[in-house]
Amino acid sequence: LATKVSDAVIRRLPRYFRQLCALDGEGVAKISSLELSRRMGITASQIRQDLSCFGGFGQQGYGYSVSFLRGRIEQILGIDRKYGVVIIGAGNIGQALAQYAQFSARGYEIAALFDVDEALVGNTFGGVEVLHIDSLESFLQHHPADIAVLAAPEGEALELAERLARAGIRAIWNFAPVDIVLEGVAVENAQLTDGLMALTYRLGELRRGGK
């Protein structure tokens, strides 16, 4: 229970959460690991093994209560709370994320966008104002944020990440095509181009008839 949970497990948690939300929406009250395994294309063993990292959420002979399990996974993921978010870089990606309804709906409250470009400063995207990057530190002092979205160009990303860490940010969602490693900071890479490259690789594999 107290032992370190592997990354592989953590990455399946959001998928479990999505499935349980869908089931909840369908009015399904209980589900067995076997049924869930069929829906998700994961073995029932793995589901039970994964969940047992966090405790016993089921009932032998019955299965899992959908709404109860959904609630527990919500807690485990930490998405039952609200998070203050700042977005660094008000280009295409920054703007799109600021306007992405899914986030504000889910308790991510975007406090501000930041950019170096004076032409962008003062503009508003999805109701969020663009501030100058120079005001980052003073802003964070007055409005502490939990998460920083790093949507700056490659060249500036590393330095900005270090600035964010110094300003007290402990979670960075990184969209820049640069690997960021910072002591005591959780970094989640959302490198779009990397995913796209993996896709073209597998497309090539399909075309060559491998697999």
Partner DNA sequence: TAGATTGTTAATCGATTAACAATC
Residues in contact with its own copies by CB under 8 A are 4, 10-11, 13-15, 17-18, 40-41, 76-79, 83, 92-93, 95-97, 99-100, 102-103, 106, 108, 146-147, 170-171, 173, 177-179, 181, 184-186, 188-207, 210-211
Closest approach of its own copies to the CB of residue 108, in Å: 7
Closest approach of DNA to the CB of residue 188, in Å: 17
Closest approach of DNA to the CB of residue 23, in Å: 13
- Residue 59 as a binder of DNA (CB under 7 A): the answer is yes
60 or 193: whose CB is closer to DNA? Answer: 60
The whole-angstrom separation of Cα 63 and Cα 79 is: 24
- Residue 75 as a binder of DNA (CB under 7 A): the answer is no
The whole-angstrom separation of Cα 182 and Cα 188 is: 11
Q: Phi and psi of 142, rounded to 5°?
A: -85, -30
Is 63 buried (19+), middle (13-18) or exposed (0-12) by CB count in 10 A?
Answer: middle
Binding-site member from 27, 61, 155, 184 for DNA (CB under 7 A): 61
User: How, if at all, do strands 64-65 and 30-31 pair?
Assistant: antiparallel
Closest approach of its own copies to the CB of residue 25, in Å: 11
Closest approach of DNA to the CB of residue 195, in Å: 17
The whole-angstrom separation of Cα 15 and Cα 189 is: 18
Interface region with DNA, contact rule CB under 7 A, candidates 32-40, 96-104, 107-115, 139-147: 32-40
Q: Which candidate, 130, 192, 189, places its Cα nearest to that of 161?
A: 189
Choose from DNA, its own copies, none: what does 138 bind? Cβ within 5-8 Å by kind.
none
124 beta partners: 129
Q: Which candidate, 172, 140, 146, places its Cα nearest to that of 159?
A: 172
10 or 59: whose CB is closer to its own copies? Answer: 10
